[in-house]
């Protein structure tokens, strides 16, 4: 397991408006059976929540985004597929559809990048278009 710097840049488009969220934090990177696992915590002073994120980049190309804490979710992002995913907040939980248009990764044991482009829907009604880029570099 290596200590890494994790930079996340997310763009969310809703009704023609785009919101950009950026996060830079320390985390860890490890390789397990050909998959890369990145773990980091959100800064509660920035997001208002305490959440631990584990991002698994599978050798098959699928990315699994697990978040635990004040916000809980498990998003499975596979290029060209729609997956139903659980999203839970203190007010309750819901099932969202995640349709991935693009997943690219050049992750290695010492870092790299992951880019995901996907849309989110609820009951097949569009909610948002999303683009997330994650940069990981060894400390």
pLDDT in tens, 12-55: 999 889 999 999 999 999 999 999 999 999 765 555 668 899 99
pLDDT of residue 48: 62
85-118 per-position pLDDT tens digit: 988 877 888 999 999 999 999 999 999 999 999 9
Domain of 57 in residue numbering reads as 2-138
Strands (E), 15-124: 17-32, 35-41, 51-57, 63-69, 72-77, 82-89, 92-105, 111-122
The domain that contains 11 carries what CATH number?
Answer: 2.40.128.20
Q: Using the 8-state DSSP alphabet, how is residue 108 labeled?
A: B
Instruction: Quickly list H helices, 1-139.
Output: 44-47
User: How much of the chain, in percent, has pLDDT values that exceed 70?
Assistant: 95
> For the chain, how many structural domains are there in total?
1
Burial tier of 40 (Cβ tally within 10 Å: 0-12, 13-18, 19+): buried
What is the value of pTM for the model shown? Answer: 0.89
């Amino acid at each position: 397991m290596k200590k890494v710097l994790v930079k996340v840049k997310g763009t969310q488009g809703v009704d023609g408006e785009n919101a950009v969220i950026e996060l830079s934090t320390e985390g860890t990177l490890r390789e397990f059976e050909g998959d890369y696992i990145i773990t980091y915590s959100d800064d509660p002073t920035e997001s208002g929540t305490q959440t631990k994120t584990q991002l698994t980049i599978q050798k098959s190309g699928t990315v699994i985004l697990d978040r635990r804490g004040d916000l809980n979710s498990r998003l499975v992002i596979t290029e060209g597929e729609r997956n139903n995913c659980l999203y839970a907040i203190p007010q309750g939980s819901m099932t969202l559809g995640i349709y991935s248009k693009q997943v690219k990764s050049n992750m290695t044991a010492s870092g790299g990048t992951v880019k995901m482009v996907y849309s989110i829907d609820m009951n097949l009604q569009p909610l948002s278009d999303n683009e997330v880029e994650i940069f990981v570099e060894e400390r």
